Structure 1
Amino acid sequence: MTPETPGLHHVTAIAGDPQRNADFYVGTLGLRFVKKTVNHDDTGTYHFYFGDGEGTPGTNITFFPWTDAGRPGRFGAGQPKTTAYRVPADSIEYWLERLESNGIDVEREERFGETALRFADPDGIELELVAAESEAQHASETTSGNAASNETEATPWAGGPVPTEHQLRGFRGVTLALDSFDATAGVLTDVLGYELEAETENRRRYLSASGGPGSVVDLVESDAGRGQMGVGTVHHVAFRAESVEEQREWREAFADHGLSPTEVIDRKYFKSIYVREPGGVLFEMATVEPGFTADEDIEELGSTLALPEWLEDERERIEQRLPPFDGPNAGAEE
């Protein structure tokens, strides 16, 4: 029997200027800069990870900053549209004021009984902050067995610019834009174990078996035509796999569904497989271990350019090619 993923592991997008990207996600959103490394497939490009105090899986948004000379992307069908974070219900007004005071246009929406603040980052990538019901309560009401053990709880970042009581609590979910629902919905339900939770005329909400943090995938239909990858678009969505053994089961399940997953790839901080689902979105299955402390202590996360062993001999050349970057400006706690 194919395992059931508890939800998201990370989301990876393409940014422009690396300094602007880091200043926004750390200084404005209050995420911790947990890893500075390079794209293993393009070592002239940084790979930034922003997450909670420990870089817990299910809290990390990551970026390939192509600089402002990078090719602009075009949003459309076959792409992730929105990445949503959880915030405490009583933090919505704090975040509305914080975002607007930073010159960010914010739209407030009610959807499926939740309040969401929708806005874009400096490169145009759409984000939401969602005041949701307790996912732990939902899981206990709708599932049994080990649902609670699969949940990811965010670790506060004591040194961050946002008070710990208002900090982002990891992912709520993602929204995928598609030409049509059915083929992608089939992968979610038949392979990943998601269930249809709610729907409106133009949106379907799917929930993972655990119902915990990062468990939501919304599907919306788009008539914008196919998107083009580039600055300002999301590259892929990664789901959690508990182990390499479980990952191999996912690989077989994708193949049995008629898809073509990659072999297991070592990404230093997790092992990964990738597959393009029928609607065009790139999915990844990423393991929880070994995590970001594989090469840095918790206290030092993000403080150096971390390279995997197979790139260490190229460090000098890689550092010379990378664009200027001074590290994120975290601002001051309010």
Structure 2
Amino acid sequence: MQFLGIHHVSALTASAKRNYHFYTEILGMRLVKKSVNQDSPDMYHLFYADEMGRPGTDLTFFEMLGVGQTYRGNNSISLTGLRVRDDEALRYWVERFEHYQVKYQGLTEQLGRQVIFFEDPEGQRLMLVSDQNNQGVAAGIPWDKSPVPQKYGITGLGPIRLTIPELAPSEGVLTRVMGFRHVGRYPAYQEGQADVEVYQTGQGGTGAEVHLEVRNDLSKEKPGRGSVHHVAFRVKDEQQLKQWYERIKEERMPNSGLIDRYYFKSLYFREPNGILYELATDEPGFTTDEPVESLGESLALPPFLEEKRSAIEAQLTPIK
């Protein structure tokens, strides 16, 4: 069993309206699904992705009104990568970030790739990575109606960085349990810290990487707006997800059991350093209840919440 890459990343925001503006108007991603947190339907769950919400292109946000700031630290998903086609695209993004006064660092290199580190207005830690020399998991296709020219648009999720106090527990789960392979390392950005270790799954490449950053100088992160809740990995189908469920049970790792999220089937579990993982199927996808042409334009609810639509809509503040 091998994962097909990263499926999605889910993070927290204190304002769906401001979040929508940044990720659609400035980053140019498409809102492919406007829904609610299925476990707490009084809050929005927004899904930004490529033109049709392909698995591996999806960055999602739970709106938690009034949530405090993030106090950054250990035991966290501390960076989310976003892929672009080539180095030329990164030069475009430098100019765009300057124009919109986005907090960013200039072009730099990581593992032989050009990257830009930047943040959204709530301090969400993000990185653009060039696929110019990349091989591995295929990228998505940016929406042609985006304010960002399609050739420069975000094509999917890139490397995910975990910041942890100890390497061995997380590495053991990634390699022994989940089948990731160690493919390299690069120097830490903080002096005196260990190299960042790099792992890949499936076909590899920027769409299938997890980076482990060990920090011995940090306390545990206190999550809030701008923090990441969990990262999900792509599973081919429900049959394989059931096999993963048996694998996780064999390891006696606490888990959620199989959950139907309507757009995909899921399994959640925590690894020893406290990182929440989700395994999610590629199908059925976001077009199961909306046509591609009108994705994200109206509030989409799974069938079990449909009878509560009026009450749910009454609690939500319109985004547009």
TM-score (ref. length: structure 1): 0.89
Whole-angstrom CA distance in 2 between matches of 1:316 and 1:132: 44
Question: Mean alpha-carbon deviation: is it higher for 89-98 or for 204-213?
Answer: 204-213
Matches within 5 A, 1:181-330: 181-200=167-186, 201-222=194-215, 223-326=217-320
Aligned match of 2:101: 103
Whole-angstrom CA distance in 2 between matches of 1:252 and 1:173: 27
Q: CA deviation at 1:279?
A: 1.0
Whether the 8 Å CA contact 1:85–1:129 is kept in 2: the answer is yes
Change (3 A) 1:290 1:213: farther
Whether the 8 Å CA contact 1:170–1:213 is kept in 2: the answer is no
Whole-angstrom CA distance in 2 between matches of 1:206 and 1:187: 12
Match of 2:80 among 78, 83, 93: 83
Whole-angstrom CA distance in 2 between matches of 1:213 and 1:104: 23
Whole-angstrom CA distance in 1 between matches of 2:272 and 2:54: 29
Structure 2: which amino acid aligns with 1:52? Answer: D
Whether the 8 Å CA contact 2:29–2:142 is kept in 1: the answer is no
Question: Mean alpha-carbon deviation: is it higher for 114-123 or for 209-218?
Answer: 209-218
1:51-81 residue CA offsets vs partner (Å, 9 max, x unmatched): 00010000000000113x2233322211100
Aligned match of 2:162: 176
Whole-angstrom CA distance in 1 between matches of 2:103 and 2:304: 43
Whether the 8 Å CA contact 2:139–2:207 is kept in 1: the answer is no
Q: CA deviation at 1:124?
A: 0.5
Aligned match of 1:161: 147
Change (3 A) 1:30 1:251: same
Structure 2: which amino acid aligns with 1:287? Answer: T
Change (3 A) 1:133 1:193: farther
Query: Aligned pairs, how many?
Result: 310
Aligned match of 2:134: 135
Whole-angstrom CA distance in 1 between matches of 2:201 and 2:287: 28
Q: C-alpha root-mean-square deviation of aligned residues, in Å?
A: 1.4
Q: CA deviation at 1:180?
A: 1.2
Whole-angstrom CA distance in 1 between matches of 2:293 and 2:225: 31
Matches within 5 A, 1:24-173: 24-67=22-65, 69-87=66-84, 88-108=86-106, 109-136=108-135, 139=136, 151-173=137-159
TM-score (ref. length: structure 2): 0.93
Structure 1 gap ranges (5+): 140-150, 327-334
Question: Mean alpha-carbon deviation: is it higher for 42-51 or for 89-98?
Answer: 89-98
Structure 2: which amino acid aligns with 1:44? Answer: D
Whole-angstrom CA distance in 2 between matches of 1:278 and 1:244: 26
Whole-angstrom CA distance in 2 between matches of 1:241 and 1:116: 28
Q: CA deviation at 1:132?
A: 3.5
Percent of matched pairs sharing the same residue: 37
Whole-angstrom CA distance in 1 between matches of 2:206 and 2:293: 25
Q: CA deviation at 1:134?
A: 4.1
Structure 2 gap ranges (5+): 187-193
Whether the 8 Å CA contact 2:131–2:206 is kept in 1: the answer is no
1:279-313 residue CA offsets vs partner (Å, 9 max, x unmatched): 11100000000100111000010010001111111
Structure 2: which amino acid aligns with 1:199? Answer: R
Structure 1: which amino acid aligns with 2:263? Answer: Y
Structure 2: which amino acid aligns with 1:323? Answer: T
> Tell me, what secondary structure is at the counterpart of 1:319?
helix
> Tell me, what secondary structure is at the counterpart of 2:248?
helix
Q: CA deviation at 1:196?
A: 0.9
